[in-house]
Amino acid sequence: MNLSSMRRHASARWIGTVATICLLITLLFCSSPALAQANSRKLKTRVDPVYPEVARRNNVRGTARVELVIAQDGRVKDVKVLGGHPILVEAVMEVINKWKYEPATEESTVIVKFDFGL
C-alpha cells in the first residue's frame, strides 16, 4: 500500500467515524419521548411578533431564539430566552403566550427562532 492510498483509507475511516457519531447523536435525541413529541406536536394558534418600529428606525436586525415548555393542554407554560437583541426578544415575549399547540400526554419543549429585518 502506498502513502496516497493509506491517506485515502484513513480519510474514509475518519469520515465514516464522524458520520456514525452524528447518527448516534441524532438517534439519542430523537429517541427522547419529549423531543419526539415536541417535533410531532402541531401548532394550532400562532401569533407572529411585529418587527418593532424602534428596531426598524435604528437598523436593529437579527434573530431572537426562545425555548418553550409546552404544557399537556397545549398552552405555553414557560419561555426561556436563548438569545437575541433585547428589543427583538421583547417583541417575541409579547406574543408567544398566545401560541397554542395540540394537547399531548406530557409536557414537551421546543426551540423557536424568529428572524427580524433579514
Does residue 74 lie in a domain region? yes
**pLDDT at residue 6, as a whole number:** 55
Backbone angles phi, psi at 29, to 5 degrees: -75, -35
Q: Which domain holds residue 59?
A: 42-116
**pLDDT at residue 15, as a whole number:** 53
Give the pLDDT of the chain (118 residues) as one tens digit per residue: 665 665 565 555 645 554 444 433 433 343 333 343 445 779 999 999 999 999 999 999 999 999 999 999 999 999 999 999 999 999 999 999 999 999 999 999 999 999 998 6
Both 72 and 104 in one domain: the answer is: yes
- Cell 436586525 belongs to which residue? 61
Residues across the chain? 118
**pLDDT at residue 47, as a whole number:** 95
Q: What is the pTM of this model?
A: 0.65
Both 5 and 62 in one domain: the answer is: no
Does residue 37 lie in a domain region? no
User: In the chain, how many domains are there?
Assistant: 2
